[in-house]
Every structure is written in structure tokens, then in C-alpha cells.
Chain A
Amino acid sequence: MAGDMKKVGYYPGCALEGTGHAYNRSTKEVGKALGLDLVELKNWNCCGAMEVKNIDPQVQTYLSARNLTIAKDMGFEKVMAPCNGCYHNLKKAEYDLKNNAHAVEVNERISRKAGHATYQPGQVETIHALDWIKNAIGEEELARRVKHSLKGMKVANYYGCMYTRPRHIFPEKDKGPGSESTLKPHFMDDLLGAAGAENVEFPLKTACCGGAHALSDSDTSTKLVLNILETAEACGAEVIATECPTCHTGLEMHQVRAEKVLGRKTKVKILYFTQLLGMALGLSAKKVGVNELMSDPSDLLRAKGLG
């Protein structure tokens, strides 16, 4: 993952304009506070998410590739996608266009019809918000810039399933020291640790939250989320840090539903890692969109001298 990451193309994706608005806001604010430059892609489109991918994976590849073309046309070598679903889809498009002749053919055909250049694999590298901050700033520099340490805050870092799966679309991961691990991811742990947080051992870091079934099969999602929440609490966590808007919304929504439907109340708070980093960098809770969350962490934040 070479190259300068101080200025990258920014692909927020649809979720960050809706339910994940606080993630969008806090990502931008953290970038500003760290002196990093995010330039939003012009006229970006949906990455194809689950809906298109389930019906026609090649069309999803095209939709993601179009965003990569935009990034290339804007002069970026790297595009940062903070949403796990978008990140996964852009990576998948890159992989498909290298390895799947049918995907290449469909991408060329639709790109021609749409009247824009066809994306060629290798032109742009997709990175996650975690890669961005970890590589552009690093733990040492981050620690140096912390104004309000997260010291004493016990955090379970929850990465969800799309950040590391399937492994073959993330060739830069599992490359030994310094690279991200697909079995036990640690970039979020590294960054929040540098900001002073106490990361707890959490065995469900990449476990399924039932996000894809949040609406079609709410009971299963609620039970999966409840187990994640209860496990985090059993590990001593006060906060679950997230880096995916789908996981985040699912955890918040099903925390409420678990209490309502199953009578099981959990107290652990759920915040985006960018919100925690932002507050550690001295930004106010409002500035990083804490007021937009469903689970109100204000008591905890006040007790920790944040917000």
C-alpha cells in the first residue's frame, strides 16, 4: 500500500448520506483535524451494494468500476471508501476486472454505452478509512496530536465481516508485520490505542451481525447483535467502536429491539471509531455527530471528560 495518502479521492457511498451521516461527518472532521485532504468524487454513483450484486454481479462490478474511473480522471491514485460495503465492492470490482473475462466484457460494453473511459485494473487503489489514517498519519503522530486522551475507556473494536472477506480480494492484507490481518484485524485497535483507549480482547471482531437480514429476518439479526453486545460487555467493554455504517446501524437498532422483543438490555455504547478519534483530537461531540446516534453515550463521554 505505497504512495502518499495525505490527499485521496473520497467515495462516501450512499449509506454515509443517510443512516451513516455521523460517520461521514466525523471522517471529514478527523481528516481536517489531521491535515489530510479528502476530495469527494464528482458525480459518483452507488457501488452496487447488495441489491445489484445479488441480481447481477457483473453490473455491480461496472457500477463500482465507474467510480474508480472517476477517481482516475480526477487524478487520484487512491480512493478512500469508509463504508465496508463500498470498500468491499470496489475491491471486488478490481479483482473481477483482473480475473474474470465476462466481467471485463460487461464493463467495457456498459462503459462504452455510457460514453466514458473503461476502467483498467491497477489504475486506482481502493483503501479504507482505517488504512488512510494508519498510513497517512500513523500511531506515533496520532498519539502526539491527541488533546483528550481516551485513557480509561474500554473499547471492543468491531470490524464486521466485509472488511476482510473474501480474503482474495484484499491482496495487501495478511502480509506479515505492519499489514492488516483478516483473521484478527487490528488497525482500529492500533489507532484507538494510540489515542489512549484500552482495547479489550474481543473474539467476535469479524462475526456476522446479520446486517443483510436486518429487515427481512429481524429476529435472527437481533439475536446475532445481542450476542455481539453481550460478548463485548462480558469482555469488559464500555464502548463498541465501529467502522461500517451497516454494522453500526444494525448494532444500534437491534440493541433497542433486543430490549423490546427479548427483554435483554445491554448498556454498551456504540460509536464510530472516527467519532472517538475526533474527540481525542479535541473536537466536540457535536462536531463529530454524537447527537445523531441512536444510543446516547453522553453520560459515558462526560464521565471520561469528552464531549
Chain B
Amino acid sequence: MTVVEPFPALMARVDATLAAPVAARNALAEAEANLAEGEAVLEAWLTSRGVEPTEETVEGFRLLALHRQGARGDPSFNACRETCRELVYLRNVVALHEDDPEEAARALRLQAMVLKHLALFIGGKLQEAGLGEFCCSARPLRANETPGPARTAAGPD
């Protein structure tokens, strides 16, 4: 049985970013793309729970508004608050060092790792809640790994 991981395209892109040579990059464009990917991750969580993702911004960033929306009524969601803020912070570091390719590339690399963490965290939450298209393949494996009482799905499969 093949386990389908959450956010496979994102993970592949992050791994490619990490493996790519430092030169020949448009660092700010990539940093903005990472932010957009982060937004997509949070959108996936919100839509899977039947919530319309906001288009608003907080402190100038939609990612932070989406996080605030996700945390409403779910305090445990704050476990990724600093991860989201770190994504924004590192985007700003890249913007600040546009004329310093080495520093910009370093910040970009860190941002990609933070993005990966956000995707892993939200992916784990989606799987735990029985949400997302990967659940049908992942859940039986997980059930075998940890025998215990049946879980109640928090949403449609």
C-alpha cells in the first residue's frame, strides 16, 4: 500500500529549493512563493473544516490573517503561530538583503525549512482529524501501527 503524504507538490518544491544552487535565484520572488505556499497550507486546513479562507491581512500579511482564522475556537492551532510569523520574518529578511545574495539565499533556505514544518504540522493535523484526500491510504497503516479505540472522523473523507 502506498501512503500518500499531505502536500506532496509543496514538499517536492521545498526539497528542490534546498537542493538548488545558491546562485541564479530570484530570492524575493521565491520568498513570496513560499509565503503563498504557506497560505495554501492554511487554506487547506480551513476549507477541509468548511470555513471560507479570509482574503484579509494582519500586519500586512494574509498568512497571519489565515492563522488567526484557524486559531479561532481551536487554541491548539496556536502551536503554529510562531512558525507562520517566522515565515513572514524570513521573507522580510530576504527583502532586506536583496542586494546581498548570500544572506538572502541563507534566509530563503531557512524559510523553506520553516515552510516544510508548517506543512508537516498541518498535514499531521489533517490526518489526525481524518481530513484530506490522503486519509484513505494513510489511516489503515496508522490503525495497524497503533491499535486502539476507533477514532471519530471530524469531517468528510
Contact = CB atoms under 8 A, between A and B. Distances in A.
Contacts of B146: 215-218
Interface residues of A, number: 29
B117 A206 contact: no
Interface stretch (A79-87, A224-232, A278-286): A224-232
A223 B85 contact: no
B61 to A, nearest CB: 14
A182 B80 CA distance: 13
B113 A230 contact: yes
Interface in B78-96: 78-83, 85-86, 90
Contact of B117 (A165, A182, A204, A217): A204
Contacts of A206: 82
A213 B128 contact: yes
B85 A219 contact: no
A294 interface: no
B7 to A, nearest CB: 12
B82 A207 contact: yes
Interface string A213-256: 10111111001100110110011000000000000000000000
Contact of B113 (A165, A182, A203, A217): A203
B81 A224 contact: no
Contacts of A231: 110, 113-114, 117
A74 interface: no
Contacts of A205: 82
B86 A220 contact: no
Chain A interface mostly: loop
A223 B118 CA distance: 11
B153 to A, nearest CB: 15
A166 B142 contact: no
A207 B117 CA distance: 8
Contacts of A259: none
Interface string A176-194: 0000001100000000000
A227 B128 contact: no
A217 B121 contact: no
Contacts of B124: 210, 213, 217, 220, 223-224
Nearest to A185: B82
B116 interface: yes
A207 B110 CA distance: 13
Contacts of B18: 234
Contacts of A227: 113, 116-117, 120
B81 A165 contact: yes
Given A166-B75, A208-B121, A216-B146, A203 B127 contact: no
B67 interface: no
A248 B18 CA distance: 26
A172 interface: no
Contacts of A204: 83, 86, 113-114, 117
A183 B82 contact: yes
A161 B78 CA distance: 9
Q: Nearest 9 CB-CB pairs, A to B?
A: A220-B124, A231-B113, A208-B79, A206-B82, A203-B110, A203-B86, A203-B114, A223-B120, A227-B117
19 contacts: A164-B82, A165-B81, A204-B113, A205-B82, A206-B82, A207-B80, A207-B82, A207-B121, A208-B80, A208-B121, A210-B124, A218-B145, A219-B145, A224-B120, A224-B124, A227-B120, A230-B113, A234-B109, A235-B110
Interface of A: 161, 164-166, 182-183, 201, 203-208, 210, 213, 215-220, 223-224, 227-228, 230-231, 234-235
